[in-house]
Amino acid sequence: MAQAPGPDGHGFVAWIEGIPGSGKSTLSRLVSQKLKAQGFRVEVLDGDEVRAMFSPELGYTRKDREFHARRVSYVARMLARNGVAVVVAMITPYETSRQAARAVASDHFSEVWLNCPVDVCRARDAKGLYKRAGEGSIKKFTGVDDPFEEPLNPDLVVDTANGAAEAGAEQILAHLRSRGFLRDSAA
């Protein structure tokens, strides 16, 4: 049986942020699978893919990153208000962008910071990007030569340096449930 996303039929935005390699794509996939298995309508807006479609003209300056985040937050809100569970996976290096996204989605927003030290992410280097950034073939790479402001006001912090991805996904699910975004205890 299909689940209503929340008590008011409204969806929500789970905004998953963190430096490259912190597990955003991995955890958003797992969370999405779990929500779908429970009957929710889910969309994942993953920075890597969304950027190519939404913002091909933008680069990686602060202004461009903020502009891109605003576009994504606006689409996320439109989906959420139509009952979709939206999982955003974006580095979101600036606090201004996080606050703007929160303001756009208002009550139906949760900011999830995947906290993983840059040394751990570099050692994993799931896509070989830290290596390329270290060699200088990628510029303005977050954690190497571009900043990541420590989140001031996350709703949930997941330690992704330790433990399995599966446990992190369950932590996010439990948090969304505690926020009242998932109807009853079925989720």
Ligand X SMILES: Nc1ncnc2c1ncn2[C@@H]1O[C@H](COP(=O)(O)OP(=O)(O)O)[C@@H](O)[C@H]1O
Query: Which residues lie near Mg ion (CB under 5 A)?
Result: 24-25, 48
Is the CA virtual torsion 152, 155, 159, 165 positive or negative? negative
Instruction: Find where tokens 């505690």 sit.
Output: 178
H-helix or E-strand spanning residue 78:
helix 62-80
Instruction: Tell me if residue 132 falls in helix, strand or coil.
Output: helix
Binding part of the chain for ligand X, among 16-24, 37-45, 58-66, 145-153 by CB under 6 A, reads 16-24
Q: Tell the burial category of 39 from Cβ atoms under 10 Å away from its Cβ (0-12, 13-18, 19+).
A: middle
Binding site partner of 168, from Mg ion, ligand X, none, Cβ cut-off 5-8 A by kind: ligand X
Binding mask 76-115 for ligand X (x = CB under 6 A): -------------x--------------------------
**Least separation, in Å, of the C-beta of 183 and ligand X?**
27
Task: Tell me if 123 contacts ligand X by CB under 6 A.
Answer: no
**Least separation, in Å, of the C-beta of 30 and ligand X?**
8
